[in-house]
Amino acid sequence: MQGKVRQLGIKIGTLPVGKKNCITDVAGVRVGHVTLDEPLDQHGGYACTGVTAILPHSGNVFQDKVTAASYVLNGFGKTTGLVQVNELGVIESPIMLTNTFGVPAVTQGTMRYMLDMNEDIGLTTGTINLVVGECNDSYLNSIRACAVTPEHAIKAIHQASNDTAQEGAIGAGKGMMCFGYKGGIGSSSRLVKIEQPDVSYTVGCLVLSNFGQSTDFLAEHYVASLTQSKSTLSPTDGSIIIVLATDAPLSSRQLTRVIKRCGIGLGRTGSHFSHGSGDIVIGFTTAHRIPHSTDQLVETRAQLREDHPIMNQLFAAAAEATEEAILNSLSQAQTTVGRNGHTVEAYSFQKAIKT
């Protein structure tokens, strides 16, 4: 494993990064993984997949929701929950990532976890909206075996912490590919500041990268010499799920404006949002906690002025953090062998830089 690209001398953008250069730089945000890497009994199949959980805060997200939004760059995906997120502007569950055929099991497991935590759901109050995103890992993973279970989702939630998130071939990223090389989980963060008044906000990004061919990768933007041979592999119906977190006080509409800029960071790496790619962004801010139950008629929340210069910094932070998170998903990944001996090589930034 090579480490994050910043450790290799590759600097993306101009804004400063957070202490961990990770989505968990946003206070309260936690990330957990469960990774499956084992033979299956079913006709020599192999589980090369997993689950990743992103929790907006350490409390009960159903009882204390967060302002949220989603944006679809290209809609070839099988997510759950985004219709209601955009209608009501809140997220009330962990955000879960897995492989395409793992969505039902992960949804089931997350529901069981949330029902156990909230005995009122479906009885004295309404139902719950669960958010699950996916990418197709069928080149390395025996996806038809449906190896991911509800218990894996529950375990990923329980293992979530505010430590620096593990990246690369981990959790939902275990079987993913990016530009024909090993991809998966990547993360990065940015700080935005103003002097009058003295205010600082954090933007954190986590990606599940599984898109593009090696000929699309704009590697020359990041390394001095291109000596690594081009991969001939490309993910089937490749996709990317981008999760953006911030503590900046934004409305759901403003958050939509910010997360749209994640597409800029994705495009800078070489993606053109291909026909069969599910390129989806899910964003939330921890600045607001919206109680599930209240007797108040009116809610009062602070939000940034639309025309303040800090909004442009937030736009830049979303683009920069996304771009760097994608590169980290490549640099942190390890060469992986999956079903039928299929092998996906890690991209060697170090080899290219040292030449």
Catalytic residues: 239, 277, 279
**How far is 136 from 143, CA to CA, in rounded Å?**
8
**How far is 339 from 38, CA to CA, in rounded Å?**
10
Give me 214's structure tokens: 């090696």
Count CB-CB contacts under 10 A for residue 204. Answer: 31
Residue 37, C-beta contacts closer than 8 angstroms, at least 6 positions apart: 47, 48, 174
Contact 148, 51 (CB under 8 A): yes
DSSP string, 103-159: HHHHHHHHHHHHHHH-TTBTTTB-----EEEEE--TTTS-GGG----HHHHHHHHHT
Contact 268, 327 (CB under 8 A): no
Residue 118 carries which side chain, given as an amino acid letter?
N
Contact 8, 1 (CB under 8 A): no
**How far is 179 from 181, CA to CA, in rounded Å?**
6
**How far is 107 from 132, CA to CA, in rounded Å?**
7
Please work out, in degrees rounded to the nearest 5, the angle formed at the alpha carbon of residue 261 by the alpha carbons of 252 and 68: 20
Estimate the crossing angle of helix 262-269 against helix 310-331, to 10 degrees: 40
Give me the residue label for tokens 């620096």: 164
**How far is 22 from 165, CA to CA, in rounded Å?**
7
**How far is 127 from 351, CA to CA, in rounded Å?**
52
Contact 74, 277 (CB under 8 A): yes
Backbone angles phi, psi at 353, to 5 degrees: -70, -40
